[in-house]
Amino acid sequence: MKKNKKRLVVGLTGGIAAGKSLILNQLKKLNWETISCDAISKKLFYRKDILSRITKKFKTCERKKIAKIIFSDKKQKSALERILLPEVLKELRKKISEFKKNGSGCMAVETPLLFELGLEDYFDLIITVYCPEEFQISRIHERDGISASEAKKRISSQIPISKKIFISDFVIDNSGEVKGIKKKLKNILDKINKKSKIIKNIKQFESVHSQKVTLNQKNMNE
């Protein structure tokens, strides 16, 4: 972990529909600064100049239609990324830079493509959230109303979760109940706090004595 006495920037990543937003919301309740790259992307999508380029390229501005196109055609996916990603990363760098310069305490950044985009150096440590693929498929189907085969295409568009787990500082298995997930997150925050003494409000977190904690402490022991 990078030494930083005043502030800590945590990257939060994982598979599609693995539960990253759940963890981000829990950290927000602890008064962490939080950023969602998905939220940034959605906001930028509708910026006039970007929306014009997207509409010109895909002949539609409907996000669901575009999603179906890009997850069926890698070239089209790359085309959308060339339009959106530079602006998303520009905004992300700006927000992190402002926090490191003027902020204090902790910031969590939900970044689905953290490893795919090589953003590891943006963060002091990385937490990966995962769940079994059948859970992902069910959640994607329920959330987006797409078929299992379409859900699998979206899952396979990312780096395999096993690789993400291997190179993360901590991992959270989000296949259980919410109270179990909270317990797992609290254990991770305890470990971080022992190392950095930066999480001032750790005692506010709800303590639930259930579920086994799954942790990858590889980098914390260095």
Spatial separation of the C-alpha atoms in residues 184 and 115, rounded to whole Å: 23
Give the start-to-end residue ranges of the domains of the chain: 7-40+107-221
Spatial separation of the C-alpha atoms in residues 150 and 120, rounded to whole Å: 29
CB 25 within 8 A of CB 47: no
Residue 218, pLDDT score: 37
Spatial separation of the C-alpha atoms in residues 205 and 182, rounded to whole Å: 8
CB 45 within 8 A of CB 51: yes
Instruction: Name the CATH architecture for the domain at 7-40+107-221.
Output: 3-Layer(aba) Sandwich (3.40)
Q: Where are the alpha helices (DSSP H) in the chain?
A: 20-29, 37-45, 48-58, 63-70, 74-102, 133-144, 148-156, 161-166, 178-196
pLDDT digits (tens, 9 = 90+) for 143-184: 989 999 999 999 999 999 999 999 999 999 998 888 888 899
> Which of 173, 132, 215, 201 has the alpha carbon at shortest distance from 23?
173
> Which of 13, 11, 12, 14 has the alpha carbon at shortest distance from 133?
14
Q: Output 4 or 146, whichever has higher pLDDT.
A: 146
